[in-house]
Amino acid sequence: MRPSLSIGPDTLINSMLASFSELPDVRKGRNKQYRVEDALLSALSLFFMPSSSFLQYQRQMATKKGRSNAKSLFGIEKIPCDNQIRTLLDPVSPSLIFSGFESLHQCLEASGKRQPYRCFNQGYLVALDGTEYFSSQDIHCPQCNHRQHRNGRVTYFHQVVTPVMVKPGCNQVLNLAPEFIHPQDGHEKQDCETAAAKRWIEAHPIGNGDVGVTLLGDDLYCRQPMCQTALDKGYDFIFVCLPTSHEELYEWLDYLERVGEMHCYEVCRYQGAKPLLYQFRYVNQVPLNAQEVTLEVNWCEVTVTDKRNGKQLYFNTFVTDHLISDETVEGIVEGGRARWKVENENNNILKTKGYHLEHNFGHGEQHLAQLLVTLNLLAFLMHTILELVGGCYRQLRDLLVTRKDFFRDLKTLTRYFWFPSWDALFDFMLTEGANST
């Protein structure tokens, strides 16, 4: 195994900047004194710290001391004000910085820390899910979707599909480039989560030489167009499949069980001292629906009970293109169950653990709302990579157990003290933290 490389925030920031496509320059008048790159880094710094007041304090520090953490830590030459940041970034399409996700993953791959995410058939698991990050009855832009209420009011909102690489048993997920749900040119209907997910799949095909990727999703994704799109672009899939939305499939399954064609398998696993009975049912090559030309899929069901009292702890059903057998059914179900991580370990953390995904940092008239969400996702991925790679960052996260404590100390220290580098900041936090315990 390759030795881990030393990776700090500066390495990740520089790697991302080098990968960004050419950014549009629409500066006019006084705005010419600030680079678009400075506006981009300024916004990124708010999400990485994360602190809406970070730039305000750094402007004050620059005025009083002639230097600031904005420049030494993030490379910001001159700090634009909040309105200037919004003006400079509104014309920037988020697609111009999607390459930042790839560059960050390359850093993680070089460290040898992405390899452990290969789990199912030595490939990767990628969970898909949509989430809402903006809602208002007053503020809106051309990128907004809308809901018409019975009382005549209209709610404008933004949604995004957030693909993440997951691993069963691992709390950290790895963000991939998002796909935004917004009005599409030439389409009369509003955009939706499944349409956006298909666009993401089509934009990221798997080549013959690439490592295999299995897509995970809830029952919303378990439709023939989605499954076929995944297969056409080189992906495998494991999707939740509910009886209520797949009546024809379950009629087939009932018939196969009656004629003795349903396979059954069970095994006991221990969760600590608790004996858990896993009971599986499965069958291969069944029609997904009743269409004349239908896709054949492989179906499985899992029931988990506590052997001590017979209490049911978990139940679910999945369809997949992976061949199911006694040897593979556990791995397929384990992969399918990891789908929930995109909600719990990604969307919920971004909304409730300091990243303020649903806060309106600026809406704009073109791309601002989407661009800021993209920068928030990049900042979250940077934190995850730093935690996985180890070093000072990992030591600090162990010392300051909660994200809240870690972010609080970052905000406080960078408000009052200047640090020439991330190493100096982290060394100070580790030294003082060790002395205070």
In the chain, domain spans: 1-113+359-437, 237-322
For tokens 């030294």, the residue is: 431
Rounded mean pLDDT, 184-198 = 83
Looking at residue 2, its pLDDT comes to 33
pLDDT score for 152? 85
Q: Residue 291: what pLDDT? A: 86
Report whether pLDDT(54) > 60: yes
Taking only the tens place, the pLDDT of each residue in 286-297 is 999 988 789 999
The pLDDT of residue 5 is: 43
How much is the average pLDDT of 9-38? 82
Q: Which of 3, 14, 19, 24 is nearest to 366 (CA)?
A: 24
As a whole number of angstroms, the distance between CA 169 and CA 223 comes to: 28
Tell me: pLDDT of 186 over 80.
Answer: no
**Per-residue pLDDT, 433:** 64
User: Is 285's pLDDT higher than 70?
Assistant: yes
Cα separation, 43 vs 87, whole angstroms: 12
**Section 169-183 average pLDDT:** 94
Model pTM?
0.93
Chain segment 103-148, per-residue pLDDT in tens: 999 999 999 999 999 987 789 999 999 999 999 999 988 888 888 8
Q: What is the pLDDT of residues 223-252, one digit of tens each?
A: 999 999 999 999 999 999 999 999 999 999
What is the model's pLDDT at position 22?
78
Angle (nearest 5°) at CA 177 between 21 and 200 = 110
| pLDDT tens-digit series, residues 378-417 | 999 999 999 999 788 999 988 887 888 899 999 999 999 9
pLDDT at residue 434 greater than cutoff 60: no
Q: Tell me which residue of 114, 130, 115 sits closest to 196, measured CA to CA.
A: 130
Average pLDDT, integer, range 199-222: 93
Return d(Cα 377, Cα 386) in angstroms, integer: 14
Is residue 435 scored above 60 in pLDDT?
A: no
Residue given tokens 């059914």 in the structure block: 329
- What's the pLDDT score for residue 4? 39
